[in-house]
Structure 1
Amino acid sequence: MRLAVTLVGVALLAGCATRPPVREPARPPMVVEPERPVATAADYMAVSASRSLLLVRAAELAERRAPTVATLARRIAANHRGIGAQLNLAGRRLDLLPSAELLPLDAAQLAALGRTGEPAVAFRRIVASAVANCLADAGDYAMRGTSPTLRPVARFAEAVCREEAALLSRG
């Protein structure tokens, strides 16, 4: 009996023994990227209007020069005319009308599209870049923008560009 009690006592003490601490693998240091500044209403308007105008003009050019992307081009043009109309309406309320001129970088892209021997490839590249930028800029402005009038337009632009990104990823 004494042996049984001793064994139970040893078993109980063994259960109370501490285990060595489990070492978790070292975590890499967390890198926090600085938050980019919020665009002003005028800056958001200028960039978004130029981007939409670029896509409309590029789509019109691609439709004429690259029949393989004509359906995509028509859809892109219609989408960005819609964004342009929303920007125009919001701009009237803010006394901040969008320009009918392209920003220099957008103008250079359109000129390059006009000169290329592969308009379908160049058009897809322009659209992919513009859509990615639209998602970033519109998403940021929709969340943090300073103009309550432009934030819904940014949400609309973000939704349109999200659909276009999905369309481009399908081929």
Structure 2
Amino acid sequence: MKIKEIIVVEGKDDTVAIKRAVDADTIETNGSAVSESVLQQIALAAERRGVIVLTDPDYPGERIRRIISERVPQCIHAFISKKEAISKKKDDLGVENATPEAIREALCHAKQEEHEQVEIIDWQDLHAAGLIAGAKSKQRRERLGDILHIGYSNGKQLHKRLQKFRISADEFKEAIERVYEEEQNL
């Protein structure tokens, strides 16, 4: 599978994992202190070929994603779930631990943020769906993020992501039904 866009990852091990999964070029941020020169490379890559951001599903990965998005808003975002990114041996979380299939799946579902946000799913919808301030709300948000391919986030960030990625009311409804169905089957 050949990827036209350049994939932005955190480090060398992530690049190795990407190359195992797809034929693609990468830019490494070398950690969460994204330098000015790396941001310039990403901006140039976005202009010429397009960019897909694929960072670890943790706080530093989200911080890197946010820094890049603010500077290069036309980026496409791919997400790997925590479950797919956890190392069996080291209890380490990262893209480098994901299987080639999980990486390909994340890239196939990559989405572009919309910067003109239109509220489709409101805060009340999140409360009604049991995604905010409930016993299982965190697990439900995590599973919803996996189903919609928008990654895990807290309630406030989930609301923002649903708007940014223009998740429709129907997509949201189908995904939340699936979350509850899976919950009942446990």
With normalisation by structure 1, the TM-score equals 0.24
**Rg larger in 1 or in 2?**
1
Task: Identify which of structures 1 and 2 has the higher relative contact order when contacts are C-alpha pairs closer than 8 Å and 6+ apart.
Answer: 1
Looking at secondary structure, tell me which structure has more strand per residue: 2
Looking at secondary structure, tell me which structure has more helix per residue: 1
